[in-house]
């Protein structure tokens, strides 16, 4: 998915690291094999990314500079809510929404390109103060949910299906805003795409609430 961008920006020491927030064995593999990326693609079964960076959904990105400093904390990576207005049978999007969706993606990718080329001189690279101000607020409920998620995954691996699922469900209840947790807990009960009706129900329940928190970037819808 980021292969083209990588090829374009590799001369500027830019490197995507794509992390699959998948816990079921083999879920991510067919996608990776088809894409044949030359950048690292990692499997995060325990959701370390959520634990360490406060990631709650996909795609979310963190920008990290050459010295290991966080330049932009976890945020939606050019994704937009537009899919909520999609026709769920035909999968068509109204034209204005399709335009906004494409615009969000282009705006974000252009910002990434600017950072790759200009580093700290890019306006999209936050200063230390700005980066701190944009850090996700981590609550003790979120930390507890993460611990329960890890426990649930361990139990599932050990064949303790009933208790494992119970802990994943509890994790989701403790951190309802995490789509990463929900996706794995829902997926355990209904394999793959059978969980989609539950997904749409959950999205609809957001009402006016955002699926992706707004990204602080000029031009972002």
Q: Contacts with another protein in 94-133 (CB under 8 A)?
A: 112, 115-116, 119, 128, 131-132
**Does 61 sit near another protein (CB under 8 A)?**
yes
**Using CB under 8 A, which of 7, 8, 29, 210 touches another protein?**
29
Count the residues in the chain: 221
Between the CA atoms of 33, 146, 51 and 161, what dihedral angle is there, to the nearest 10 degrees?
-30
Q: Residue 111: name the closest of 11, 217, 12, 13 by CA.
A: 217
**Does 48 sit near another protein (CB under 8 A)?**
yes
Scanning 89-139, the segments in alpha helix (DSSP H) are: 95-118, 128-133
Kindly state the number of chain residues that form the binding site for another protein, as judged by CB under 8 A.
Answer: 84
Q: In terms of CB distance, is 13 or 96 closer to another protein?
A: 13
In angstroms, the first-to-last Cα distance of the chain is: 22
**Does 144 sit near another protein (CB under 8 A)?**
yes
CB within 8 A of 120, min separation 6: which ones? 65, 71
**Does 159 sit near another protein (CB under 8 A)?**
no
**Does 69 sit near another protein (CB under 8 A)?**
yes
For another protein, the binding residues in 161-190 under the rule CB under 8 A are 163, 167, 180, 183, 187
């Amino acid at each position: 998915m980021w292969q083209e961008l990588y090829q374009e920006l590799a001369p500027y020491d830019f490197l995507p690291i794509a992390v699959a927030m998948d816990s079921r064995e083999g879920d991510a593999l067919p996608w990776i094999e088809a894409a044949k990326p030359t950048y690292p693609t990692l499997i995060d079964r325990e959701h370390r990314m959520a634990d360490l960076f406060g990631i709650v959904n996909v795609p979310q990105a963190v920008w990290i500079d050459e010295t290991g400093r966080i330049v932009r904390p976890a945020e939606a990576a050019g994704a937009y809510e537009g899919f909520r207005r999609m026709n769920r049978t035909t999968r068509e999007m109204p034209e204005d929404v399709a335009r906004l969706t494409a615009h969000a993606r282009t705006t974000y990718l252009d910002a990434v390109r600017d950072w790759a080329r200009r580093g700290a001189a890019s306006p999209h690279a936050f200063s230390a103060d700005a980066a701190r101000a944009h850090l996700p607020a981590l609550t003790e409920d979120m930390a507890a949910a993460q611990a329960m998620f890890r426990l649930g995954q361990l139990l599932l691996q050990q064949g303790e299906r009933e208790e494992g699922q119970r802990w994943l469900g509890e994790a989701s209840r403790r951190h309802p805003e995490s789509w990463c947790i929900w996706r794995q807990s829902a997926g355990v009960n209904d394999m793959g795409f059978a969980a989609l009706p539950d997904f749409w129900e959950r999205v609809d329940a957001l009402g006016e609430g955002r699926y992706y928190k707004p990204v602080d970037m000029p031009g972002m819808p």
